[in-house]
Structure 1
Amino acid sequence: MAGLETILMLFVLIGLGYLGKRTVLQGHSMAPLNLFVFYFAVPALLFNSVYKLSIDSIFQPLAMLAFLLAVVATALIAAFGCALFFSERNKEVLVIRALNGTFSNYAYMGIPVVFGLLGEEAYGAMICIILLGNVFQIGGTQFLIESMRQEGQGIRQLLNILDKALLRSPIFIPTLLGVIVSATQISLPGVLVDSLAMLAPATVPVALFCLGASLEFKTLKDSKIELFWLVLIKLLVHPLLTWLSFKAIGVEDQSWLMAAVLLAALPTGALAHVMAARYDVKEKETSLTVVLSTLVSVISITVWVAVLG
């Protein structure tokens, strides 16, 4: 019931964005709101998620490796399938498709679903996976696309890519700072803590509102089969490969295993749409992937809960 209520709340926010863009916001650009999410709200959310926890409670090397291996394998299957079955040759599009097939709705659905089903013992695993998803998947997407858009080769181009994808990244830098504060136990000023606490919760609702505003259902006619392929990858292949990866590596911590599989079984997250919008690559198709995968996840999450239980 908790999972169903979470999904329904998600659709309310998406629906408000869809209606808003076609009424009071008609003719207005949503770019400023997307920029707000990417450069302000997301960094606050990531920093807040990290600095309050101890390093030991977050990082489990073998479990992290198992999770990342499953992400890479799933991303390759998603991209290869789009290239093979749908004749997609644009590398930037394939990167976004891989993100659509692997990036979960970690924050908005993941936290209530995992916490509600597994309790506090899975909290460290959940936060670590959320951070890995944002840094490795979102940051990695940014790195790959920036690499493709750089002309030439050599150390100067490499430094330019690293500068744009990491050193100026609103995903990487706040996470790194959070780890540093957590490791050193630095005491932050109360005003800063309270300001971040106010800003961070804006991430999910504003991102979902922007996602709803970008929906163009006529796009479904042109790429319907490809979108269903990505939904299949996200809700079936990704959690299955996550489970197999944990078993193959021999991770014994059941709370990590269950948290990782449940998070992998979630629908495509709204930040995938934020990235597609930022780079102007398959934005409308990405928004539809988020919506379709969320609809189907009502069934898939129930199935995976039963399997893991």
Structure 2
Amino acid sequence: MEVLLRLSALLVVLLVGTGLRVSGILDATRTDRLNAVAYYVALPALIFVSTYDQAIGELLSLELVGGLLVVFFTTAGIAWFVHRNKADSGRQGVAIVQSYHSNLGYLGLPLVAATFADPVTAIASVILGVVTLVQVPLTIVVLSTANGADAELAEELRGLAVNPVLVSLLVGLAIGSLGITFPGTAVVGLDAIGSLALPLALLCVGASLDVDLPSIDYGATGSVVAVKIVAMPVLAWVAFSALAVDTATFAASVVMLGTPTAVSTYVFAAQLEGDEEFASLNVFTTTLASIVTLFVLITLIT
């Protein structure tokens, strides 16, 4: 019941964000500012607090990295197979990337932090870093190839080097691995800031959703939902069960890979000539449907 109430609260905050957009309170400029606070302040604070007292050897393992890569590329392969015959290249590329590109930062990590103990959150932070390094370049390649759009992949990769999520992860792991003592008052402050990551992210996601119901392609959207929030977490469950990892690694991996399509895929679609409306719809649909699937996953794990 506690998990259901928590996920229901997430849905409420998501819909509040949509309502604030419709009412004009959260216009594009304010949403961008709120998004910046979540991405550059709250989320890095959450990641740092989760990892600053953990040595990298305690969190990163061959089983974890191997399992993540197997699940990720298997899901990407399934997505290509399912959507390969779409006549509309703008929708084809979007459908493929939105079937594997997970909302690890805005929803995954904050949700894990709010639901599980600290060791699970620490591993989830590492998962965020590892998968981000893979899914962002692949998404750029898929969209630019499908749509014939120019993409500065090298520039995007350079951007990853200064990505606040990855930087905070590396700094936290470095401090933990070196055994550096970090001031307790600073940790308390950062923890408070990090707790804002989930509500801020949900407001931003809700404010970015704009769906035109008459134009919905139910088959295509249904396929994205099925691959992203059903097939991918099932693959994660099977893979990490076979790898016999510890409980914390299993829980973090399955929940993180069971998150909905990332909002950033809408941005990539807009930049690389994909179908923006279709991308927005899939973010909305996978996010709403994931309330149910994440409840099932968390209930089974706990």
Q: Tell me the TM-score normalized by structure 2.
A: 0.77
Written as runs of structure 1 = structure 2, the 5 A alignment for 1:224-243 is: 224-243=218-237
Would you say how many aligned residue pairs link Structure 1 and Structure 2? 289
Deviations 1:145-184 (A, max 9, x none): 6675555xxxxx84x44322x2221122111111101101
**Counterpart amino acid of residue 260 in structure 2:** T
Aligned to 1:110: 112
Kindly report which structure 2 residues correspond to 1:1-309, keeping only aligned pairs within 5 A, or say none.
Answer: 1-25=1-25, 27-29=27-29, 30-85=31-86, 87-88=88-89, 93=94, 96-100=97-101, 102-103=102-103, 105-113=107-115, 115=116, 120=117, 123-132=118-127, 134-144=128-138, 149-150=150-151, 158=154, 160-164=155-159, 166-189=160-183, 192-218=186-212, 221-248=215-242, 250-251=243-244, 253-254=246-247, 256-264=249-257, 266-268=258-260, 272-274=262-264, 276-277=266-267, 280=270, 285-297=278-290, 299-301=292-294, 304=297
State how far apart, in whole Å, the 1-side matches of 2:240 and 2:195 are: 32
Deviations 1:249-297 (A, max 9, x none): x425355335533443x4416xx11453477356654554344334434
Percent of aligned positions that are identical: 22
**What are the Cα deviations for residues 57-95 of structure 1, in whole angstroms up to 9, with x where unaligned?**
322321331133112211332244233346435797367
Question: Is residue 46–residue 195 contact of structure 2 (8 Å, CA) maintained in 1?
Answer: yes
CA distance in 2, matches of 1:278, 1:289: 14
Give the aligned residue type for 2:20.
Answer: G
Flag the 1:276–1:35 CA change in 2: closer, same or farther, 3 A.
farther
Please state how far the C-alpha of 1:20 moved relative to its aligned partner. Answer: 1.0
Contact 2:42 2:194 in 1 (8 A): yes
Quick one: distance in 1 between partners of 2:12 and 2:197?
16
**Alignment RMSD, CA only?**
3.4
Q: Please say if residues 7 and 294 of structure 1, whose CA atoms lie closer than 8 Å, have aligned partners that are also in contact.
A: no
Give 5+ residue unaligned stretches, structure 2: 145-149
- Asked if structure 1 preserves the Cα contact closer than 8 Å seen for 2:64 and 2:249, the reply is yes
Q: Which runs of 5+ in 1 are unaligned?
A: 152-156
Partner deviation per Cα, 1:177-212 (whole Å, 9 max, x = no partner): 111011012223456434423322222111111111
Amino acid of the structure 2 residue aligned with 1:109: L
CA shift in 2, pair 1:45/1:12, >3 Å: same
Amino acid at match of 1:129: A
TM-score (normalizing by structure 1): 0.76
Which amino acid in the other structure matches residue 300 of structure 1? T
2:147 aligned partner: none
